[in-house]
Structure 1
Amino acid sequence: MLILGALLLLFSTAFAAQGALEISLPKSLYATKYDLTVNVFLPPVGAQIPDEDAFRQKASVLIDFTVKEPTRLIVLNADGITVKQNFLWNGRSNYSNLPVVEVKSVQKLYFEVPYILAVGETLQFYIEYTYKIRSVDDEALGLYRSTWVDENKVTHHIASTQFKTIHARKVVPCLDDPTFRSVWSLTVHAPKGYRVDANTQEYQTTNNAQTHRFFKTPSIPSYLLAFAVHDQAYIRTVSPGGFKNGFIGPHEKLRNCTAWFAFTGQMIDTLVDKFKVVKLPFDKMDFIHIGRMYKGAMENPGLITLEPSKFCNYDNQIVLSELIVTHEMLHQWFGNSVTPNGWENIIMSEGLVTYYQIRLLLKRNPNLTLLTTPSMVIALPSNTSIYTQPTSINEVMNVGNDAQYFKSAAIFHMMERMMGPAKRLYNVQRVSENI
């Protein structure tokens, strides 16, 4: 416990107030894979929400690590996580219940290993813990619950994730930073009668339809992991070009989504053609209706989430619906397949997405002069920088805003004006490869 004791002393000094120490993670360990199992409790359809203590749930994660630098500490982000037990395997020996210290002010867990980990060593680290399903009225972050009411006035429950920017740590201890990309395997235990959707396809349902296992994801940062537990309907559609996509929502909403389905299919074909690819970047592209959420929509690969006012509202808000759908689909390439290597660079992906979003919609409807990049930038605050270097947890949570998005898009607009479309496309692709 000497190392952990010294660590506590460190955090009792002024060093704990330094921003870099607050948000950074050591580079000594790299997680190559997470095998996450979570219990997700929801009341039966039509039932009232029980006592808040019912939403404290059990979970476990098995993390595969590769050692990059010598260390005696395993450092993971965590927020509201209670560790019950842990085990470490190194291929030669097993270690049970490593000493652990939680420093809540920096949202980190520090586990002390009984020897110095060597460079190149591989480890498996297993943690059993509890986490809380939060309320949409409290904060729609991490895994949170919400409700919707059907045409017969029956209340339905949803539990869904919002991990961007740094809220995966509310559900799983992890390296919760875009610098680290990993493969994720997911198992969800949910009440009978509920459906579970995630980034990838479900490959097995067992335990009386209460245990759901999903194919592993490609290598993604923690903020892009997504899943939802619900009892909504699912409709599979096919774009004119033959690409499958799905829509998950209340029956009564899906019955009136024909125009929205059609636009989405057309835009999928447009993007596939524009980026000269023969398939989508992930094995599926589903859109799911969930409760009120942070910024209204989220580009999770394979499972794009939208709050009720943004889901299938095409007839009432055509321009807004097209903006949102196009934006989140573009992120499947810029931001998901190619991920910024730090929150200070997130504007690169958002700027590229906003630039292409405007360009594609203006080509579809040239009369939308409001969407021209110069006119939108003129209306934005002139003192907003397009580059920010967050130095605290609070700053990371609030990184990115419309002013930064559109000012960043204006840079790519200027590149196009200076170099022409062909050179501009080539250079944008080169830039994106280095995000």
Structure 2
Amino acid sequence: MTDEPGIGARVNDDEARYRLPRSVLPRRYDLVLEPDLDAVTFTGSEAVTLEVVEPVDEIVLNSADLEVGPGRLEGSGGTLEVSTIRLDPETERVHLLLSGTAEPGEWTLHLGFAGKLSDQLQGFYRSTYSDDEGRTHTIATTQFESTDARRAFPCWDEPDLKAVFGVTLVTADGLLAISNGPEIGREDAGGGRVRVRFADTMPMSTYLVAFVVGSLDATEPVDVDGVPLRIVHRPGKADLTPFAAEVGAFCLRYFADYYGIPYPDKKMDMVGLPDFAQGAMENLGCITYRESLLLVDLDKATQPEVATVADVIAHELAHMWFGDLVTMRWWNGIWLNEAFATLMELLAVDAYRPDWERWSQFLRSRAVAFEVDALESTRSIEYPVRSPDDAAGMFDILTYTKGAAVLRMLEQYLGAERFREGIRRYLDEHRFGNTETHDLWDAIEKATGEPVRRIMDGWIWQGGYPLVSARLRDGMVELGQRRYLISGKQDDTVWDVPLLVRTSAGTEPVLIEPGGVSIPVTDDGPVVVNAGVHAFVRVEYDDELLARLTADLRSL
């Protein structure tokens, strides 16, 4: 979690309540699901390849709102029946009591299950739309982040318990069925149904699994350096898809180049849904969107509306590497997933359309984060998370905007290329794995030789930001700091502040340590502290330095 004293102990105390035992670990799920769109129900079965770490006579995994059973465990030592199934709605777990003891080794758990398509826009849920003739059509789709995969199939529903997923969907013939992987097989299932099989995924977390079934259309795939890209939409909206395809193709190429790693899976479907609670969701290879954030009429939409669509597409595609390929170990790390994707969205869209001046727009939106973070009631960007629900508070402006701002601050202080080398190192070292926040800082530190973990820990684990003071004394500019609070209350919080300072001699990175720093000036020209306005700080100049700045504003 963190180096802060006591936090690790608190996590351990809560582990039994909020985290599953590690005596049994999933390695692969073979899922078969059959949604009935008319009855608004689904049935399913799974064969989960397990690594039994220590002898067990009970298997505990997550399940919510499902009927579970029957079940059995098969291995080289024979077959053990699941003799008792106990559902615990409060903890959203199912306890499978075995007819004997499973010894350490590889086993396969076979389970049946059934449920109802939710109307709460979570888990395996239904979305509806009406066609031009007024007929209602139902779509069965998914939204699993943070902990709702357990509402679709029994699973080890924690981000660090990654596994490979092989999905099969049994649907009425004539419906479109998609999942994370590309379709690799289709056969008649009788009764007007088809069985559609999809390619295995890379090892990934349960919250990234997705499946969509309904009366939908898909565009012809665009080949993006070997990755087929499609836009999935309801019938009659094909004319609204070209912009999404263009932005999607650009971003896939941009991120593959930036990260130095090809797109980590086999295909990309971007799916517009009539009913979707979030803006979009980064399911590997099957990103789901609210329709208005994917489909756009360029002849009618305003420039901000078009830019928003581009932002959201870029944000979700950035997650395919940072979030899907490499994933936080626990939900305390969700801020970094979202903040980094926000940074990457801005970099990509700025590269796609420089004339939109996305960084200038970001500075305007960052002003709101400044206001929130100047309150005594603000929070740190990251904080200890015991239960997944504790992380819900991270989906706010401090995560998306301040989080992205401090990452941009670091990038500009280090230099874009050195920062990128650190990101590439991080992704390469941890691909298919899980990390804590400090793993990113350590990778960038190794790549640059800068004290990145020390710098960033202060920004991540402390709320607020500094007011940097600039004073001219004896040919030196003295830079100090104090916390900025709207209330005016004194506070002794300090940071390592990385920023750029511009003088007549040029622009240089400067690290303002808690005790301050002095930099020499050799003439009476202006001194710009926080040049480029990249650091998440406010600056207060003394009268002499302020006079130099205002003497000729056009030169700045």
Q: How does the TM-score come out when normalised to structure 2?
A: 0.68
Instruction: Say what the alpha-carbon RMSD is for the aligned residues.
Output: 2.2
Q: Does the CA-based 8 Å contact 1:287-1:304 persist in structure 2?
A: yes
1:309 equivalent to 2:292? Answer yes
2:530 aligns with: none
| CA offset digits 1:372-392 (Å, max 9, x no partner) | 485463254451321133323
For 1:22, the aligned partner's letter is R
Distance 2:51 2:382 in 1: 32
Residue by residue over 1:169-198, the C-alpha shift from the partner in whole angstroms, topping out at 9 and shown as x without a partner, is: 001111000010001111111122211011
Q: Does 1:229 align with 2:213?
A: yes
Between 58-67 and 168-177, the greater mean CA deviation after superposition: 58-67
Q: Partners in 2 of 1:87 and 1:222 — Cα distance?
A: 22
Give the one of 379, 382, 387 matched to 1:387: 382
TM-score, scaled relative to structure 1: 0.86
Counterpart contact for 1:343–1:399, Cα < 8 Å: no
The answer for unaligned runs of 5 or more in structure 1 is 1-17, 44-53
- Flag the structure with more relative contact order, 1 or 2, with Cα contacts below 8 A and sequence separation at least 6: 1
2:418 pairs with one of 423, 429, 434: 423
2:61 maps to 1:61: no
Question: Which residue number corresponds to residue 228 of structure 2?
Answer: 244
Report deviation, 1:243.
4.7
> Would you say how many aligned residue pairs link Structure 1 and Structure 2?
403
The equivalent residue for 1:129 is 113
CA drift of 1:347 comes to: 1.8
Q: Is the 8 A contact 1:166 1:396 kept in 2?
A: no
- Paired with 2:226 and 2:151, the residues of 1 have a C-alpha distance of 38
SS of 2:293's equivalent in the other structure is coil
Counterpart pick for 2:370 among 360, 363, 378: 378
Letter in 1 for 2:325: S
Mapped contact 1:20–1:392 kept (Cα < 8 A): no
SS of the aligned residue for 1:357 comes to helix
- CA–CA distance in structure 1, aligned partners of residues 280 and 266 of structure 2: 20
Q: What code does the residue aligned with 2:49 have?
A: D
Task: Check whether the contact 2:24–2:54 (CA below 8 A) recurs between aligned residues.
Answer: yes
How far the C-alpha of 1:235 sits from its partner, in A, is: 0.6
1:275 aligns with 2:265: no
* Aligned-partner residue type, residue 338 of structure 1: V
Q: What residue identity is the alignment partner of 1:82?
A: E
Note the C-alpha offset of 1:298. Answer: 0.5
Deviations 1:68-101 (A, max 9, x none): 2343321100001112311111222212232222
- Tell me whether 1:406 sits opposite 2:401 in the alignment: yes
Indicate conservation of the 8 Å contact 1:234/1:247, yes or no.
yes
Residues 18-57 of structure 1 aligned to structure 2 (within 5 Å): 19-43=14-38, 54-57=39-42
Amino acid at match of 1:294: A
CA contact (8 A) 1:88 1:94 kept: yes
1:88 and 1:122 map into 2 onto residues whose CA distance is 10
Check whether the contact 1:204–1:214 (CA below 8 A) recurs between aligned residues: yes
Alignment-mate amino acid for residue 97 of structure 2 = E
Equivalents in 1 of 2:254, 2:70: separation in Å? 50
Q: CA deviation at 1:114?
A: 4.1
Structure 2 contact 229–245 (Cα < 8 Å) conserved: no
Which runs of 5 or more residues in structure 2 are unaligned?
A: 1-12, 436-556
Residue 138 of structure 2: which of 157, 164, 169 is its match?
A: 157
8 Å CA contact 2:230–2:245 kept in 1: the answer is: no
Say whether the 8 Å CA contact 2:217–2:232 is kept in structure 1: yes
1:337 is aligned to 325
Q: Give 1:324 deviation, angstroms.
A: 0.3
Deviations 1:256-281 (A, max 9, x none): 3333332322222222332334x422
**Which stretch shifts more, 410-419 or 219-228?**
410-419
| Native 8 Å contact 1:166 1:397 kept in 2 | no
CA displacement at 1:401 relative to structure 2 = 2.9
Counting only pairs closer than 5 Å after superposition, residues 165-314 of structure 1 correspond to structure 2 as 165-206=146-187, 207=189, 208-238=192-222, 243-277=227-261, 279-313=262-296
CA gap 1:71/1:322 in 2 versus in 1, 3 angstroms: same
Structure 2 residue corresponding to 1:101, chosen from 74, 86, 111: 86
Contact 1:166 1:223 survives alignment (8 Å): yes
Q: Are 1:72 and 2:67 counterparts?
A: no
Q: 1:361 is matched by which residue type in structure 2?
A: V
Looking at structure 2, the residues matched to 241 and 75 of structure 1 have their Cα atoms a distance apart, in angstroms, of 43
**Structure-2 change in CA distance of 1:342 and 1:185 (3 Å):** same
Identity of aligned residues (%): 23
The CA distance in 1 between the partners of 2:90 and 2:175, in whole Å, is 36
Q: Is the 8 A contact 1:178 1:339 kept in 2?
A: yes
Indicate if the aligned counterparts of 2:169 and 2:197 stay in contact, CA closer than 8 A. Answer: yes
Q: Relative to structure 1, is the Cα distance of residues 114 and 272 closer, same or farther in structure 2, using a 3 angstrom cutoff?
A: same
Give, as a single letter, the amino acid of the residue that structure 1 aligns with 2:307: V
Q: Please give the per-residue CA displacement for 1:139-174, whole angstroms capped at 9, x wherever unaligned.
A: 100110111123333322211011111000001111
- Which residue of structure 2 lines up, in the alignment, with residue 8 of structure 1? none
Contact 1:343 1:389 in 2 (8 A): no
- How far off its partner does 1:360 sit? 2.5
Partner of 1:7: none
Distance 1:330 1:270 in 2: 9
For the residues of structure 2 that align with 1:204 and 1:92, how far apart are their CA atoms?
A: 33
Query: In structure 2, which of residues 341, 350, 365 is the aligned counterpart of residue 353 of structure 1?
Result: 341
